[in-house]
A and B are shown apart, each in its own frame.
Chain A
Amino acid sequence: MSDKKNKKDTNPKTYKFDTLSLHAGYQPHKNAGSRQVPIYQTTSYLFDDVDHAAALFNLERGGHIYSRISNPTVGVLEERVASLEGGTAALATSSGMSAIFLTVMTLCEAGDHLVVSSQLYGGTVNLFRLTLPKFGIKCTFVKPRDTEGFKKAIQKNTKGIFGELVGNPGNELMNMPEIAKIAHDAGVPLIVDATYQTPYLCKPFEHGADIVVHSLTKWMAGHGSSMAGILVEGGNFDWMQNDKFPTMTKPYEGYHGLSFAEEFGPTAFTMKARAEGMRDFGPCLSPQNAWNVLQGIETLSVRMKKHCSNAEEMVKYLLAHESVAWVSHPSVPDHPDHELAKKLLPNGRGSMIAFGIKGGKDAGVAFINNVKLASHLANVGDTRTLVIHPASGTHSQMDEATLKFAGLSHDMIRLSVGIEDIEDIKNDFEVGFRAARKPRLVANQ
């Protein structure tokens, strides 16, 4: 044999994204040979003896105690998402909102402060603006493109920076690498909601994020059948670098004097979120919903490619349409974050489009009421095309000033492009646009 043939290939053979989407977190031979992940529909798990029970409660051994804390089916989902994100650990929750809440409550206590991007899903805005202050946690909102503003907003008691990588619904990007640097210079983690991207489009840990949260209900599952959320830990944040996180670094009364950072290092945050947060708040994911989400993740990359190609077709269609006033999508060359999007989202710019309909609110309402294929509902990331008028729907609980600060206008339609045949989506939109023009025609006459 030649030297070349004799030379051992020293490239890592760890599994790649598409393989992990199908296999990560699960070994059939440990589950009666079942090729599909079993649904462990149980509340609790037998202890071998008293010593085994004590060892599980003391975190001396791994294993399951009660499905509020952990469940084998949910565990497969957690490992699968951790593997896809390049994270060390993950904790699945009952929804994306509970993943955010659990993240904040693991990180903060009364008297703490967070710096938060202003362009977020309406429910998240209300959590940070109205609900967290009831727990003594205050937030300063900064526009996502105002990178310097994030730095200025840092206070002595700031415990983290939070934002959606691509803001909902205006499609403004956070400059994640620069904002991560600001967070790390201040000794706090950057938490990124990457629901819109999924790890197929962007792995935030590669750009400086420390914790990633997802609503798995959206693109990760794709089928729109099940609520689910997850927090994923990057494992790179040094909780012991300062005295900002005593419940992570000091012997913690809430868990038998355990120092999570000392004992668990790169998985400390997830361990604390599970041991404390799931114990005390309990927003657990049902095994059935975990299984449903796993079915979606199996085809994640296939679906995301189609979502993105359909979205780019729809962008071209909308830009050329007489009834459309403006289109916001990071693929549009004059989008303010077009270049940043190329860097952060190399596999595709996502399938969320915001556009303004000529004729304002009335035209928007007429459009929404007349499309037939596109579904009018409060969700995104379904395999089916979805539309909503945020000012009267997802963000309707905001007052006028907050709407403006969140970058919303009354003519805005939020479009989540599905994976149907692109011509069928366009034909459906034509019906909607014709209906939207009618009130104006009547008014002109």
Chain B
Amino acid sequence: MKFKVNGEEVFASTGGRPFDKNKPLIIFVHGSGLTHMTWVLQTRYFAFHGYSVLALDMPGHGLSGGKSLKSIENMAEWISDVIDTVGYKEASLVGHSQGCLVTIECTSRYPNKIKTLSLMGGAGAIPMNPELLSLAENNDPKAVDLMMDWAHGPAGHFGGHPVPGLYHINTGGMLAKSRTIKDTLGVDFRACDNYKNGFEAAKKIKIPTLSILATDDKMCPVKEGKKLADLIEGSKVDIIDNCGHMMLLEEADRVLKVLKNFITTNYPPKK
């Protein structure tokens, strides 16, 4: 669905069901340069099982209008604005990669608004490889090729997509190239590189939190994810073997199962 936040048009997938304000809200926040489509194998399930879902396209990304936000802090404020705009007082947040930084920051700023936090391929800081950052800021498609290489584990490189016939790396690459690379990936990577408050923000989080990590994740390695999780009181950690940074697609079923158990327990759906 489309709606306006701070005067700019925003697109969010509602998971194939009409948006219903009477159901608890789950907001999905994508990673650098990507779009709502990375969440398709999680969002549709929740939308059909008692939740209202918003898989957002961040400003300047996917089908949303406006320009990409330049800092993680601005993105965190924007998520809070989205919750207000759609008429909710609270929501569960799910983030992937850069989306983890955004949701950690948002949760630390609005502890009463956020009910559960789920982090996939997260870390307290995501310093960028200087060459990758430079390629993205210079609009070089090689930035996307590199990101797709590093972001995928065996399923991405060899194949074996959970949806028959889809090929991971080319699909991810096409999502990241759907808008001008320097205006999406370039801005996002710089925002990640600049963000230094992740560990401090994590210490303030007191709500139920889940971290899903993957053994073959080169972008946010397991040890970085664990370091972050250790700072969040009572945080649960699930580690997926033989999987890369794009675990939400590479091991979509496993991710959905863990996510489903966590969210339905801590933020039950409307019966």
Contact = CB atoms under 8 A, between A and B. Distances in A.
A206 interface: no
B158 A25 contact: yes
A25 B159 CA distance: 4
Contact of A60 (B48, B149, B161, B164): B48
A263 B16 contact: yes
A58 to B, nearest CB: 6
Contacts of A24: 158-159, 167
B6 interface: no
Contacts of A78: 164-165
B175 to A, nearest CB: 6
B256 interface: yes
Contact of A266 (B145, B163, B175): B175
A124 interface: no
Q: Which of A23, A83, A90, A266 has the most CB of B within 10 A?
A: A266
Given A59-B44, A265-B35, A266-B174, A26 B129 contact: no
A270 B174 CA distance: 15
B159 A79 contact: yes
A70 B164 contact: yes
B237 interface: no
Nearest to B37: A265
Contacts of B5: none
Contacts of A259: 16
A121 B44 CA distance: 42
B146 interface: yes
Given A14-B157, A79-B161, A61 B45 contact: yes
Contact of B163 (A11, A26, A27, A62): A62
B159 A80 contact: yes
Contacts of A8: 129, 131
Interface residues of A, number: 57
B166 A88 contact: yes
A230 to B, nearest CB: 9
Interface string B115-153: 000000000000001011000000000100110110000
Nearest to B135: A10
A325 B34 CA distance: 58
B162 A62 contact: yes
A34 to B, nearest CB: 13
Contacts of A4: none
Given A10-B129, A24-B159, A82 B170 contact: yes
Q: Which of B167, B174, B242 has the most CB of A within 10 A?
A: B167
Interface string A365-404: 0000000000000000000000000000000000000000
A235 B174 contact: yes
A30 B154 CA distance: 11
Given A61-B162, A270-B165, A235 B157 contact: no
Given A262-B13, A266-B174, A271-B163, 4 more contacts: A54-B48, A62-B164, A76-B159, A88-B171
In the complex, the 6 A-B pairs of residues with the closest C-beta atoms, listed nearest first: A62-B162, A25-B159, A62-B163, A70-B164, A235-B174, A266-B174
Interface of A: 8, 10-15, 23-27, 29-30, 54-55, 58-64, 70-72, 74-76, 78-80, 82-83, 86-92, 235-236, 240, 256-259, 262-267, 270-271, 274
20 contacts: A10-B131, A25-B167, A26-B158, A26-B160, A27-B155, A27-B158, A54-B48, A55-B48, A59-B16, A63-B253, A75-B164, A80-B159, A83-B169, A265-B37, A265-B178, A266-B175, A266-B178, A270-B165, A271-B163, A274-B164
